[in-house]
Amino acid sequence: MAQRCLKCLKYTMCLANFLCFVCGVAVLCFGVYMMVHMSPLTPTLAKYNLANLLVISGIVITCVSFLGFLGALKENRCLLLTFFLLLFLLMLVELTVACLLLMFEKELGIWVEEDLNKGLAEAKGKMGNSTDAMSEWDLLQNNLDCCGVQNVTDWGDNVPKSCCKDKCDVAKPPYKNDGCLVKMKTFFEENFLTTGISVIVLCVVEVLGMCFAMTLFCHISRSGLGYKL
């Protein structure tokens, strides 16, 4: 009975890690696509934009899940132990980042505001005499229903079409009232609970993965099967 349970645990780990590997490859490909076809919204956030984060996340997910899959399939104690340690380190990093975000929430808001202002200034410089802003700002302003950092006056005389509420082909088109900074803060506040629950669920999954890996590791050590360290 115990052997059947351990075999079930082994193949469950293989299946779960295989699915994680496929998801990691998909995230990596999507991140590369965004990196090629989209430029960063702000100058300082260029190194930390969504495309780069997706690429890094995809690489980490594929590497860790591959170790877990191969370690469980081959009953390799070295790979299982490496998988356990990597999951433990990832969980520590996630919890550390979450704590830092809570501790430095105000400082982060100020930094994002300054960086958005720099990004908007660069966008205005690229506009020239055109009324079309950078596509990234158009996307942000359309999705969040906002205009500028604080309001429409941030754009000066060259207001992009994405700031208009309805049509821009009239003499004095009605512009969106709220700035993107306020909308972004509201968006993060509204999704704070969802983000917190997601982090907790992710940590629970990682703890389960560590328990499964250590259970197999101990079984292989006691039975003398599988590859040695």
- What integer pLDDT is reported at residue 131 of this predicted model? 45
The predicted-structure confidence for 39-71, as pLDDT tens digits, reads as follows 555 555 554 566 777 788 888 889 999 988 888
This model's pTM is above 0.85: no
Q: Within 10 Å of residue 99's Cβ, how many Cβ atoms? A: 10
The predicted-structure confidence for 112-136, as pLDDT tens digits, reads as follows 888 888 888 877 776 654 444 456 7
Q: Which phi and psi (to 5°) does residue 164 adopt?
A: -75, 145
As a whole number of angstroms, the distance between CA 18 and CA 68 comes to 9
The share of the chain scoring above pLDDT 90, in percent, equals 2
Q: Which domains does the chain have, with CATH numbers?
A: 2-105+205-223 (no CATH), 112-185 (1.10.1450.10)
Residues 35, 40, 46, CA angle at the centre, nearest 5°? 95
Mean pLDDT of the chain: 78
Long-range contact set of residues 149-153: C-beta below 8 Å, sequence gap at least 24? 149/113, 149/116, 149/117, 149/120, 149/179, 149/180, 149/181, 150/179, 150/181, 150/182, 151/177, 151/178, 151/179, 152/176
Looking at per-residue pLDDT, the higher value among 217 and 173 belongs to: 217
